């Protein structure tokens, strides 16, 4: 939960304390906590009055409970990693045995720049943080302001990942966390003479789709999955009009051709066929795919 780290230690223990017992829900082996606290209030893990109690709780969950605990840190810009308070908080968390992973959406006007991402990922590796995800801004109210197109996002990711070593190439993306699952924009290619997005499920409501590659028609303006269309003469997209995964196996869906898109045509009859009274204005008529100007 992204709000977990604003809780006092005694409240946090109500939710997590039981996991110090290895016999409590033993099938839960991995715990993830998403937070912006490392950059918004790093003192939470260093000088707050109950910082030591929070760190001890996390340590005991790992050491006594035998769990893996990951801090999913939302780090959106390399400047956020530049303060001494941030570094001290990172060391304190790592001292508990927790692993810190970083993720962030691409935000226009903030980090829509491959150099920012490359610097961020390099610095994270130096600090022992694992680069994890580059997200595409979700379809909320702020998307219109911060959003970038899928094509832009792919370009930013590609140009950033080329600048870093393999240690930072654990970062996946750009990814849409959308209704059918996590959809990665893997590439932009030409298939059968058409420019297309190459897409892949990183996670999906139907596990059979995870890792499967599929194509969508390239659209330079698209910013979200529901704006995508099948390539001309290509297969259906994995999701229906409601964004839900289609019935059938991936093989069945991808072997089904999408119906051709039909553009409605409104045909206006010849002006000679219109009644004189109440007819269309006589200056210009369009009929039979021709324009008649008296």
Q: Could you list the pLDDT tens digit for every one of the 294 residues in the chain? A: 566 788 999 999 999 999 999 999 999 999 999 999 999 999 999 999 999 999 999 999 999 999 999 999 999 999 999 999 999 999 999 999 999 999 999 999 999 999 999 999 999 999 999 999 999 988 887 788 888 999 999 999 999 999 999 999 999 999 999 999 999 999 999 999 999 999 999 999 999 999 999 999 999 999 999 999 999 988 999 999 899 999 999 999 999 988 877 666 666 666 665 555 555 544 444 444 444 444
Alpha-carbon distance of 254 to 244, in angstroms, equals: 15
Q: Single out the residue of 106, 99, 91 nearest to residue 61, CA to CA.
A: 99
CB 135 within 8 A of CB 99: no
Cβ contact 105:146 at 8 Å: yes
Residues 227-265 pLDDT 10s: 999 999 889 999 998 999 999 999 999 999 888 776 666
Distance, in Å, from the CA atom of 227 to the CA atom of 92, rounded to the nearest integer, reads: 44
**232 contacts 193 by C-beta, under 8 angstroms:** no
Does domain 9-174 fall under CATH 3.20.20.70? My reply is yes
Q: What percent of the chain has pLDDT over 70?
A: 88
Domain boundaries, the chain: 9-174
Residue 144 main-chain phi, psi, to 5 deg: -65, -30
């Amino acid at each position: 939960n992204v709000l977990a780290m604003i809780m006092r230690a005694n409240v946090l223990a109500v939710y997590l304390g039981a996991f110090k017992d290895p016999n409590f829900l033993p099938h839960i082996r991995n715990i993830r906590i998403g937070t912006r606290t490392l950059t918004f209030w790093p003192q939470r893990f260093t000088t707050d009055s109950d910082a030591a109690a929070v760190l001890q709780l996390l340590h005991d969950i790992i050491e006594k409970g035998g769990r893996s605990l990951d801090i999913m840190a939302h780090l959106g810009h390399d400047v956020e990693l530049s303060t001494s308070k941030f570094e001290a908080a990172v060391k304190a968390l790592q001292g508990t045995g927790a692993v810190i992973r970083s993720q962030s959406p691409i935000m226009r006007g903030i980090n829509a720049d491959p150099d920012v991402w490359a610097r961020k990922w390099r610095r994270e590796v130096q600090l022992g943080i694992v680069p994890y995800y580059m997200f595409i801004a979700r379809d909320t109210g702020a998307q219109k302001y911060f959003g970038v197109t899928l094509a832009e996002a792919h370009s930013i990711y590609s140009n950033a990942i080329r600048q870093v070593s393999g240690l930072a190439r654990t970062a996946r993306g750009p990814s849409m966390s959308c209704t059918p699952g996590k959809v990665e924009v893997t590439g932009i290619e030409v298939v059968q003479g058409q420019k297309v997005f190459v897409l892949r499920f990183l996670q999906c409501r139907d596990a059979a789709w995870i890792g499967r590659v599929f194509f969508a028609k390239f659209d330079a303006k698209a910013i979200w999955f529901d704006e995508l269309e099948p390539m001309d003469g290509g297969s259906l997209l994995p999701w229906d009009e409601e964004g839900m995964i289609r019935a059938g196996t991936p093989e069945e869906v991808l072997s089904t051709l999408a119906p051709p898109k039909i553009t409605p045509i409104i045909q206006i009859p010849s002006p000679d066929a219109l009644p004189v009274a109440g007819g269309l204005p006589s200056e210009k008529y369009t009929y039979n795919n021709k324009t008649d100007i008296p």
